[in-house]
Amino acid sequence: MKKILVCIVMTVLGVSVLSAQDSIPEPKTVEYYSDYKFKVSPFFWFLGLKGEIIAPPQPSTLPEPPPRYQVDLSFSDLSSSIRFITMMGMDYKGEHFIIRANVTSLILEGQAITPLQIITEGVDYRFTYLTSEITGGYRILKNPKLDLDVLLGVRMLYTKITGETDIVGVTFTGERQVFWWDPILGFQIKYRPHERLELTGYTDFGPIRNVDSYQFQAQAIYHLTKTFSMALGYRNYYINSEAEEKETIYKGRVYGPFARLGFQF
């Protein structure tokens, strides 16, 4: 009789234990929306310029004006002069490796008043600024909420400035252009406080050649779906190639906030 009672009690307790174990919920796995392989992200940069135009072309045979012009223009100053603008970013990331590319092109047109305004009203100018970076690197820190990448790559810059003016009924034109490249070292950190939100900081600089260049950008990305995301950020971009390239056209910063739309797969 005792053996039967013990068996019954053990059976009941066993069922209870199994029921309790079955009722324990499994840990929830967070699925981050930023788990993609490839991303294309066009953006608009509300940029400003602060620096120097060095040795602009002389659209005349008259004595040259001072070889440098100080430039300090906000986006509101430049917006009416923008004739063409294209900005695109691309990212590919594997298990431990990452490749990123960035292209920025800008064409400004307007009229510049020079020290020759007594003879001419001004110079019609066209300023072209095209820059891109291509980098590849290794993810030295990777967990569900935090990534840290180290990247090596190259920065390329093409600038061109043309001027045209009429002096005493005669049209004079001038043009200068330059292309150079610069090896760069970069770092990128990503923090994901929520499955839809991603905070990113990126910086690079060119310490290898005698070209002083660096870039910093920070952004907050919100993933609307697995495919689409939106971001707001700030980008500061500085280039001075004067020490190495005697044909430097623009030396200084291009900076300002930007808005980005991402398509990821």
CA separation for the pair 113, 115 (Å, rounded): 7
The domain in which residue 211 lies consists of 38-259
The pTM of this model reads: 0.79
Largest CA distance in the chain: 126
Q: What's the confidence (pLDDT) of residue 132?
A: 92
**Structure tokens given for 198:** 């991603």
Residue 20 in any domain: the answer is no
Which residues are CB-contacts of 153 (< 8 A; sequence separation ≥ 6)?
A: 133, 134, 135, 136, 183, 184, 186, 204
Q: What's the confidence (pLDDT) of residue 121?
A: 54
Domain count, the chain: 1
Residue 265 in any domain: the answer is no
Looking at residues 107-134, what average pLDDT do you find?
Answer: 73
Residue 220 in any domain: the answer is yes
Residue 24 in any domain: the answer is no
Domain CATH for 208: 2.40.128.90
* pLDDT tens-digit series, residues 21-34: 455 555 555 667 88
* pLDDT tens-digit series, residues 86-119: 999 999 988 889 999 999 999 998 876 555 444 4
Q: Which residue(s) pair with 221 in the sheet?
A: 198, 231
**Structure tokens given for 68:** 């440098």
For residue 235, give Cα distances in angstroms to 215, 216, 230. Answer: 7, 6, 16
Residue 96 in any domain: the answer is yes
Nearest to 100 by CA among 108, 91, 113: 91
Nearest to 103 by CA among 47, 150, 41: 41
If DSSP codes are grouped into helix, strand and coil, which group holds residue 90?
strand
Q: What's the confidence (pLDDT) of residue 134?
A: 95
CA separation for the pair 108, 172 (Å, rounded): 20
Which residues are CB-contacts of 241 (< 8 A; sequence separation ≥ 6)?
A: 157, 178, 180, 182, 211, 212, 213, 248, 251
Burial class (CB in 10 A: 0-12, 13-18, 19+), 137: buried
Residue 115 in any domain: the answer is yes
Q: What's the confidence (pLDDT) of residue 9?
A: 41
Which residues are CB-contacts of 100 (< 8 A; sequence separation ≥ 6)?
A: 89, 90, 91, 92, 133, 134, 135, 136, 151, 188
Q: Output b/e per residue, 206-228; b: 16+ Cβ within 10 A.
A: beeeebbbbbebebebebeeeee
pLDDT mean across residues, the chain: 80
